[in-house]
Structure 1
Amino acid sequence: MTCENHTVRGGLGEAVAATLAFAGKARPVLPIALPDEFLAAGALPTLHDRYGLSTDAVVSRVRAAC
């Protein structure tokens, strides 16, 4: 699982997945990241709520994945 304030494509999750694959230790990776699209502008707390990066949203995703 990775969590980042970046788009899902070209981000940390993709780099971690590639590193695991190249090392022969491929595992599912759940990236928690921004969607790969044009995003709205605004205050960070508002944007985090909108795009699922708020603390509560991240905790919910982690719990659902475990």
Structure 2
Amino acid sequence: KSERLIAGKDIAIIAVGSMVKTGQEVAKMLGDMGKDITLVNGRFISPIDKNMIDELANSHSLLITMEENVRNGGFGQKVSDYLCDKQKPIKFINISVPDEFVDHGGTQELHQRYGLDPDSIVDRIMLESESL
């Protein structure tokens, strides 16, 4: 089962693997901007924690998944499919690596290139949450 690290009410982030640390940085940055953030360590890519996803989808206006995996077949896609199947009316963002050949490089360099660094993630969340 997943583990709630920070309890909030506006934006929910479910991070897996190495992205949990990034999620903590993102949550702090968004909190400093006045956003009320829930951060969850998804812990397992499969099976997904449907109870936690239901709870977050019913109590937040935006749900975000963060992973250091390719989009297709990844954790975020599993969550997206579940939300769609259950017809949950929540805005959803899947932060992951595009489904393409990934260049070689250092972790920090690749995170920046693919938008997985804290600054890029915060920018995307702020842009997407403007319409909420």
TM-score range, shorter chain: 0.7 to 0.9
Query: In the alignment, which residue of structure 2 is the partner of 1:53?
Result: 116
Match for residue 43 of structure 1 among 89, 97, 106: 106
Query: In the alignment, which residue of structure 2 is the partner of 1:23?
Result: 86
Identity %: 35
Query: In the alignment, which residue of structure 2 is the partner of 1:5?
Result: 68
Instruction: Give the superposed CA RMSD.
Output: 1.4
Say whether residues 1:64 and 2:127 are aligned partners.
yes
Give the TM-score taking structure 1 as reference length: 0.85
Q: Matched residues in 1 for 2:90 and 2:73: separation?
A: 18
In the comparison of the two structures, how many residue pairs are matched?
A: 66
| Deviation digits for residues 7-42 of structure 1 (CA, Å, limit 9, x no counterpart) | 111111111111122334254421111010001111
Q: Matched residues in 1 for 2:80 and 2:90: separation?
A: 7
Greater relative contact order (Cα < 8 A, sep 6+): 1
Secondary structure of 1:30's partner? strand
Query: Runs of 4+ in structure 1 displaced over 3 angstroms?
Result: none
Return 6-15 or 21-30, whichever deviates more: 21-30
